[in-house]
Amino acid sequence: MLKDILILQKREFQKRINEPYIDRKINFKKLKAPLIKIIVGPRRAGKSFLALHFLSELNNFGYVNFDDERLIELKDYDSLIETINSVYKNPKNLLFDEIQNLEKWELFVNRLARQGFNLIITGSNSKLLSKELATHLTGRHFLINLLPFSFKEYLDFFEKDLTTNEIKNKLDKYVFEGGYPEPKIKKIDNKDYLISLFDSIIYKDIVRRYDIRNPNKINDLAYYLMSNISNEYSFNSLKKLTSIESVHTVEKYLEYLEESFIFFSVKRFSYKVKEQLSSIKKIYCIDNGFISSKSFKVSPDYGRLYENLVAIKLKKLELDNEISFYYWKNQQQQEVDFVVKKGWKVNKLIQVCYDINNLKTKQREVRALLSASKELDCKNLLIITKNDEKEESFEWFGIKRTIKFVPLWKWLLEK
| Average confidence (pLDDT) over 59-78 | 90
**How high is the pLDDT of residue 132?**
64
| Average confidence (pLDDT) over 144-158 | 92
In sequence order, which residues have a C-beta less than 8 Å from that of residue 42 and are 6 or more positions away? 124, 147, 148, 201, 260, 261, 262, 286, 287
Q: Are 265 and 250 in contact (CB under 8 A)?
A: no
23 falls in which pLDDT band (50, 70, 90)? Answer: confident
* Number of H-type helices and E-type strands within the chain: 18, 14
First-to-final CA distance of the chain: 48
DSSP 394: E
| Average confidence (pLDDT) over 160-167 | 91
Q: How far apart are CA 127 and CA 210, in angstroms?
A: 13
2-146 architecture in CATH?
3-Layer(aba) Sandwich (3.40)
- 25 pLDDT exceeds 80? no
277 falls in which pLDDT band (50, 70, 90)? Answer: low
Q: Could you tell me what percent of the chain has a pLDDT over 90?
A: 67
Write down the pTM of the prediction.
0.94
In sequence order, which residues have a C-beta less than 8 Å from that of residue 181 and are 6 or more positions away? 22, 44, 45, 46, 49, 148, 149, 157
Higher pLDDT, 35 or 323: 323
Cα Rg for the chain, rounded, in angstroms? 23
**How high is the pLDDT of residue 276?**
65
Lowest mean pLDDT among 6-10, 264-268, 276-280: 276-280
Write b or e for each residue in 70-104: b if 16 or more Cβ atoms lie within 10 A of its Cβ, otherwise e: ebeebeebeebbebbeebbeebebbbbbbbbbbee
- 227 pLDDT exceeds 80? yes
Numbered ranges of CATH 3.40.50 in the chain: 2-146
- 129 pLDDT exceeds 80? no
Q: How far apart are CA 291 and CA 177, in angstroms?
A: 9
